[in-house]
Amino acid sequence: MASPFEHPVEHPLKLDPATVKFPRDRDWSGKPRAEQTRLGLMKAAAAEIYEKGYNAAALSDILQRAGATKGALYHHFADKKALALAAMDHFIRLDLWEIWLEPFRASDDPVLTLRNLIIFLNTTGVIDKGLKHGCPVVNLTEEMGVQDEDFRTLIDEVNTEWRKVLVASLKRGQAAGNVRPDIDCDGTAMLILAIRHGVISYKKTSSDPDVMAKLAGAVFEFLESLRPGERAATNVH
C-alpha cells in the first residue's frame, strides 16, 4: 500500500517548517520593555510546560530561560499558576492556532485542508522536531484537565473555539459541494477534533516507527467518507 505521505505539500498558510514549533519565536523588540519582559516570561513558561508538564516546570527554570528575576515575575503575575494560565492561553491562541486552526477559517474544503495539514506536519519533520512533545492542548488536558478547574475551563474554551471553526468550514464545504449535505457538522467537528487529539496522544507512546502513516491512512479514509457520493472514492492530494 502506498504511503499517505508520498506527496509532500506546503502548510496551507505557507509557514516555514523550521519555524513551526510551540511556542514559536517572535520579534518583540518594538514593544515596551515591560511588555517584552512579560511576554518573555510567558514564552519561557509555555516552553517549560510543553516540554516538562505543568507540575515539573520549575519557576527557577522559567526565570533562567526568560533571563528574568523573581521581582519581574511577581510584578506581572501573582504566582506560577497565574503565569501558566496566561502563557498557555496566549500561545495556544497565537501559535497553535496559526499552525492548526487558521487554515480552516476561510476554507470551503476542510477535508483537503486537514489532509494537507497532516501531510505537511509529517513530511517536513515538524511532528518529530518542533512538535516532538505532542500537542500542548492534549498534554494539558491529560495532566491538568481533571485536577484544576481553571485549567479545565481554559481547555474547554480552546476546544470549543476549535470546534466552531471546524463547523463553519464544514458548512462552507457543504455549500460548495465538497462535503456531504447530510452530515451533522457539529458532531463531525467534535469527532475530527477527538481523532486529532487521540492520534497525537497515541503517537507519543507508540514504538511503531510507521504509526503516523498507518493512522493517517485510516484518518484519510474517514475524511473521504465525508465527500458527496460522486467524490467519495477520489483520493485528492
Q: What digits encode the pLDDT tens for the residues 156-176?
A: 999 999 999 999 999 999 999
Question: What pLDDT is recorded for position 39?
Answer: 97
Domains of the chain: 17-224 (1.10.357.10)
Q: What is the mean pLDDT of residues 205-218?
A: 90
Block residue for cell numbers 498558510? 13
Q: What is the mean pLDDT of residues 39-62?
A: 97
Question: What pLDDT is recorded for position 235?
Answer: 44
d(CA 169, CA 167): 5
Cβ contact 158:92 at 8 Å = yes
Residue 3 pLDDT grade (very low, low, confident, very high; cuts 50, 70, 90): confident
Name the nearest CA neighbour of 115 among 103, 127, 129, 133: 103
Cβ contact 26:53 at 8 Å = no
Is the model more confident about 3 or about 104? Answer: 104
Residue 1 pLDDT grade (very low, low, confident, very high; cuts 50, 70, 90): low
Residue 144 pLDDT grade (very low, low, confident, very high; cuts 50, 70, 90): very high
DSSP H helical segments within the chain, as ranges?
Answer: 33-52, 59-66, 70-76, 80-91, 102-105, 110-123, 136-144, 149-176, 185-205, 211-224
Residue 230 pLDDT grade (very low, low, confident, very high; cuts 50, 70, 90): low
Q: What is the pTM for the complete model shown?
A: 0.91
Q: How many C-beta atoms lie closer than 10 Å to residue 86's C-beta?
A: 18
Q: How many C-beta atoms lie closer than 10 Å to residue 128's C-beta?
A: 12
